[in-house]
Structure 1
Amino acid sequence: MADISVLQIGDNDWTAQIDTTHIDWQHTTILDLPTRLTRQKDPYVLEQTYVVLTDNELSSTLLSSQISEWPALRVIYFAKTITPDFQEILAERRAFCVQDTTPKAIQNRLQTDFEFDQIGFPTRFSEQQFMPMPPTGIHFKRAGRFSAQFSGDFGQVWQQIGTLKTFVGDLVPHVENMVWLDYDQTQTVAVQLQFVFYKDNHIQAVQTVTGDALRQQHTIGGIDDYQDYQILIFAKGAGELDLHVLHQRRSRHGLGTLLPGDDWQMTDDNEEVLSYFNPGDRQAPLIVNFSGIRLHVDGFEMRGPLNELGTPYLLFSDVRMQGGAFHIGSEAYEQKIIETIKKAMKTLNLQPEDVILTGYSMGSLPAMYYAADIKPHAIVVAKPLISLGTLTGNAEFPREVNQDWTLDVRRFLAGRMHPDDTDMLDSILWQHIENVDWSKIAVALFTLKQDEYDGQSLPQLLKFFEENKTPVIHTQEVGTHTAKIPEMIVFIKTQLANLRDSMREGR
């Protein structure tokens, strides 16, 4: 069975030049397109994964009108001569413009850059993955689990300070990864990463990324037939160096980071903001989803269910620290989140009352938190985590897959590890949302009776909504925090569908 399906639209049929083992390639001309669509079970549905436009000129109103009706982020083209009206529709539907113009090149791009698998992972400076080699006279210490700190005078020549452990599958032969390093520095100290590739016990190639280049996504890999690789860490200059996480994502060669068409931003404080906007059917509501914890792999959540709803949606993924920091933090970081939401609203010509904020587990807090900044029509949250101080101060919580994540989140949000910060962290949400008119925001809430993560805060949340005359739909199931995932997804989808229908009926 083919991995991907494509409808080619153009004068010249490429089918004979495509390896159809992995791609179900179908062809039609512009003139034959209406007839082809009428033969479908549903002529208004795009049955293929992608549409590839292979004519060098695009001017047909018949074709542009059809593209306007199809889902966004599904059209690929390379034409340079395009009428203004056609170009406007391509832009609005967020079509992909590529430089490749041959069947073989397009096929390669489809198989490498347009797949929907989200391939991204952290390589952390933890006890398990980082082997420090502090030079003589350099002080080394750990803060939490994911902070490796060096201080001193490293000299003016690069010297190795450690090695990051790698795993089979981190990199794939012939394939490139995009990497960037989450770290802090002071004074003149600088850091360098060397990716050393081996074959037959000999060095095959060395790729180096140095200094400020590490704060942007940088290409590494693409090596033929290597057998193993190492990541060596070097430093020079004087000062303090605090190493956190090396992010590695499969390269899409400029077409996205985790998904085709997503957006990667970096704040002035060197915090990344990952988002994915799909304008859907252009009608309210705009659904904004915040991802839950991402302990081992980077990724957005709820894309599939939101595609089924058909509405515009905006996804956020937080992969700071070990697996996220509740999508909040510095003023610069939070402003990026707000600006990204308002940009999507402006693109669709929507107002705050046209927005729904949603999230579960770690994503529940930002769904409520940013209600103060967006003033949405509704929020839909599940398995809420609210009391960040109580959660991160629970010494018995880190275990199994969590691996001290909460402790590092506490250090990240409070700037230190101290029991006196519990009340301050617990009040972060309440202080931010206390001046919101919650009587005008509909709330749908899914909880579990034995939720051991933050279950004690639920009565406080329900009391808050009651005192603020908030219209609440509350469903509770038996189970601990990680239980009832299918039921939770059904609840969220049902509530979003109901809200969509009622909001559109009222317009």
Structure 2
Amino acid sequence: MAKKIRLIHIGEREITNLEAVSSSFQYKWLPGDYNFQIDEQEIGLFIEGQFNKKYSRAVFILGSNAGILTNNSDLLVQLPAYQILYARNANLSSEIERVLVLKEAISIETKEMAQVFQFVNQQYTVRQSGYKLSNDHIHVCSDFDGTVQKCGNSYIELEGNFSPQFSQVLSWKMTNLIKADERMTFYSELAVLSGDVDLLFKIFLVKENTSEVVQIVEVPFEKLQKNEKTIFEQPVNCYINVSLYARGKSGKIQISQVHIRKALADKSSMIPGGNKIVDEEHLSGEVFYYFNAGDLKPPLAIYFSGYRPAEGFEGRRMMSSMGGGPFMLIADPRLEGGNFYLGSEEFEQKIVDVILDKLKLLGFKNSDLILSGLSMGTFGALYYASDLKPNSVIIGKPLANIGTIALNERVLRPNGFPTSLDMLYYNTGESTIEAAEKLNQKFWDKFAAGDYSNTTFAIAYMKQDDYDKEAFPQLFNVLKENRSTARVLYKGLVGRHNDNSTGINKWFLKQYRNILFNSFQRIMDDFE
């Protein structure tokens, strides 16, 4: 039996009608003037003034008379971000308002508790989950009048003549089961490169173990372009089938990944507070980010996810253990499990701008910033360090030469990471040695231009790395020859890229612990 989520209500009156509350929650009422220091009911929400982390998943409903909204900003700031709902008519000081904004708290109408509970049910019971429809199962309709080019798993390109009425051009020959009452959302990466072509996805929901189509959901191309959510659900288990329709004259289209994900009540992606940046210049590919203001004190620690076929964020529990400070997770759901955070110039600038915006929101300087990551995440941390002048860059198993990683697939690491070839083609439009070298140089041109005079680099690497053996020596040379005042801490472990992840992770966390303590006087929580 799943452990219930605590629903803590602090207000004038206890809510007695809880029929609208999901059975996933355990409701607990506390009077508005409840004294958490005396803690008469011994709930242990705060222990010696510190938030009890066993309530980290709890959802808090704060009535207009909740004392924590009037004179307890020190306690309020410790409540988990995105999980605070407060009365819209509460009389708030400017300081309390600032905390609520940073915590992304949600104002509610307490007279409409049935709607509030519906939101709570749909927002906080969903665990992040999502998948892509496999490009290996794409079927092109036989009557399509044109040419088809399948570019690995990067995308499929259709060029030719399209009918004046919507006609099916692609379908995905696979059936994934959606359980009854699961709310799902749909997104696709695609582009019309030329011609007057209109596109329409149709999602067919077929009742399990039958051929009965219970619903057809239509998703126009314009809706995807506007980043509007499409949500669908059924009261019975259903298989999902997806097809793409097109109409117009001659033209060229590209279709990359098609995503099916669990939906939340608001615009969040994957988890409450999850947001995304869209590469409008290249197939509308996405990067997710999640910002948590923590205790509002430096540093802001950013973690770039490693390669992750399962859609969503990684490292949330780890980053929550960084002494309670602000943190950000960044994840890349493109291709099989990521595209190393690269994209168009505008897209990459958006990633930088989001980080700078959060620093400004917190009132921090660039010297209050830590960038970090493991494996694929090291590329993001290093690549954007040149724009951000961070206090520290903490990485394990660095990868810098994406082109080399792809070239190593042929002899050094056959069939070890075939998606590296997709990355090469996705980013350059070619699969050649020249394209690989150009992609490598894109990183080094950017990295070498950075100012790291006040930055500490902590790097753990594998000595026989079969993905990118030269990454660490090249990084070391650039940092010491061209930026001699940069501090470089490093440790090499024997083995190939994936031979000793445990050792790499331990050193990574050790460096985080040391930098947090020595630079910011923070004590990192125990994390295993």
Q: Same-fold call, TM > 0.5? A: yes
Alpha-carbon distance in structure 1 between the residues aligned to 2:260 and 2:247: 24
In structure 1, what is the equivalent of residue 268 of structure 2?
256
Shift of 1:275: 0.8
In structure 1, what is the equivalent of residue 34 of structure 2?
32
Q: For the structure 1 residues 358 and 65, does the alpha-carbon distance in structure 2 shift closer, same or farther, using more than 3 Å as the test?
A: closer
Work out whether 1:173 is the aligned partner of 2:174.
Answer: no
Match of residue 207, structure 1, among 186, 205, 217: 217
Greater shift after overlay, 212-221 or 55-64?
Answer: 55-64
Work out whether 1:491 is the aligned partner of 2:499.
Answer: no
Q: For the structure 1 residues 445 and 104, does the alpha-carbon distance in structure 2 shift closer, same or farther, using more than 3 Å as the test?
A: same
In structure 2, what is the equivalent of residue 3 of structure 1?
4
Q: For the structure 1 residues 454 and 95, does the alpha-carbon distance in structure 2 shift closer, same or farther, using more than 3 Å as the test?
A: same
Aligned residues: 501
Mapping for residues 232-271 of structure 1, pairs under 5 Å: 232-237=243-248, 238-269=250-281, 270-271=284-285
In structure 2, what is the equivalent of residue 221 of structure 1?
232
Q: For the structure 1 residues 441 and 134, does the alpha-carbon distance in structure 2 shift closer, same or farther, using more than 3 Å as the test?
A: farther
Shift of 1:333: 0.9
Q: Is the 8 A contact 1:158 1:234 kept in 2?
A: yes
Work out whether 1:344 is the aligned partner of 2:358.
Answer: yes
Q: For the structure 1 residues 302 and 208, does the alpha-carbon distance in structure 2 shift closer, same or farther, using more than 3 Å as the test?
A: same
Mapping for residues 13-28 of structure 1, pairs under 5 Å: 13-14=14-15, 17=18, 22-28=24-30
Shift of 1:56: 5.3
What secondary structure, in the 3-state scheme, does the structure 2 residue paired with 1:359 have? strand
Q: Which runs of 5+ in 2 are unaligned?
A: 523-528
2:510 partner amino acid = T
In structure 1, what is the equivalent of residue 526 of structure 2?
none
Alpha-carbon distance in structure 2 between the residues aligned to 1:62 and 1:247: 45
What secondary structure, in the 3-state scheme, does the structure 2 residue paired with 1:432 have? helix
Mapping for residues 414-453 of structure 1, pairs under 5 Å: 414-453=428-467
In structure 1, what is the equivalent of residue 165 of structure 2?
157
1:132 partner amino acid = V
Q: Is the 8 A contact 2:144 2:162 kept in 1?
A: no
2:257 partner amino acid = V
Per-residue Cα deviation, 1:293-351 (whole angstroms, up to 9, x for no partner):
122x2122221111111121111111122221111221111110110010011011111
Alpha-carbon distance in structure 2 between the residues aligned to 1:300 and 1:500: 23
In structure 2, what is the equivalent of residue 44 of structure 1?
50
Match of residue 79, structure 2, among 67, 70, 75: 70
Per-residue Cα deviation, 1:346-382 (whole angstroms, up to 9, x for no partner):
0111111111111111111121111111011110011
Alpha-carbon distance in structure 2 between the residues aligned to 1:363 and 1:84: 40
Q: For the structure 1 residues 229 and 268, does the alpha-carbon distance in structure 2 shift closer, same or farther, using more than 3 Å as the test?
A: closer
Work out whether 1:182 is the aligned partner of 2:183.
Answer: no
Greater shift after overlay, 342-351 or 87-96?
Answer: 87-96
Shift of 1:283: 1.5
Shift of 1:248: 2.1
Shift of 1:182: 0.5
Work out whether 1:193 is the aligned partner of 2:201.
Answer: yes
Alpha-carbon distance in structure 2 between the residues aligned to 1:58 and 1:115: 25
TM-score of the superposition, structure 1-length normalised?
A: 0.90
Q: For the structure 1 residues 145 and 25, does the alpha-carbon distance in structure 2 shift closer, same or farther, using more than 3 Å as the test?
A: same
Per-residue Cα deviation, 1:383-422 (whole angstroms, up to 9, x for no partner):
01111221122343776674x3111110122222222223
Greater shift after overlay, 232-241 or 78-87?
Answer: 78-87
Work out whether 1:12 is the aligned partner of 2:13.
Answer: yes
Q: For the structure 1 residues 29 and 108, does the alpha-carbon distance in structure 2 shift closer, same or farther, using more than 3 Å as the test?
A: same
In structure 1, what is the equivalent of residue 404 of structure 2?
390
Shift of 1:189: 1.2
What secondary structure, in the 3-state scheme, does the structure 2 residue paired with 1:52 have? strand
Shift of 1:44: 1.9
What secondary structure, in the 3-state scheme, does the structure 2 residue paired with 1:62 have? coil
Q: Is the 8 A contact 1:194 1:209 kept in 2?
A: yes
In structure 1, what is the equivalent of residue 130 of structure 2?
120
Alpha-carbon distance in structure 2 between the residues aligned to 1:103 and 1:367: 43
Greater shift after overlay, 348-357 or 493-502?
Answer: 493-502
What secondary structure, in the 3-state scheme, does the structure 1 residue paired with 2:176 have? coil
Alpha-carbon distance in structure 1 between the residues aligned to 2:301 and 2:125: 24
Alpha-carbon distance in structure 2 between the residues aligned to 1:354 and 1:94: 21
Q: For the structure 1 residues 198 and 285, does the alpha-carbon distance in structure 2 shift closer, same or farther, using more than 3 Å as the test?
A: same
What secondary structure, in the 3-state scheme, does the structure 2 residue paired with 1:370 have? helix
2:507 partner amino acid = F
Work out whether 1:55 is the aligned partner of 2:63.
Answer: yes
Greater shift after overlay, 355-364 or 224-233?
Answer: 224-233
Q: For the structure 1 residues 286 and 413, does the alpha-carbon distance in structure 2 shift closer, same or farther, using more than 3 Å as the test?
A: same
Alpha-carbon distance in structure 1 between the residues aligned to 2:77 and 2:140: 55
Greater shift after overlay, 171-180 or 274-283?
Answer: 171-180
Shift of 1:36: 5.6
Shift of 1:252: 0.6
Mapping for residues 299-448 of structure 1, pairs under 5 Å: 299-309=312-322, 310-396=324-410, 402=417, 404-448=418-462
Greater shift after overlay, 132-141 or 300-309?
Answer: 132-141
Shift of 1:102: 6.1
Shift of 1:290: 1.2
Shift of 1:103: 6.1
Q: Is the 8 A contact 1:285 1:503 kept in 2?
A: no
Q: Is the 8 A contact 2:190 2:254 kept in 1?
A: yes
Shift of 1:207: 0.9
Q: For the structure 1 residues 20 and 392, does the alpha-carbon distance in structure 2 shift closer, same or farther, using more than 3 Å as the test?
A: closer
Shift of 1:53: 2.0
Identity rate of aligned residues, in percent?
22
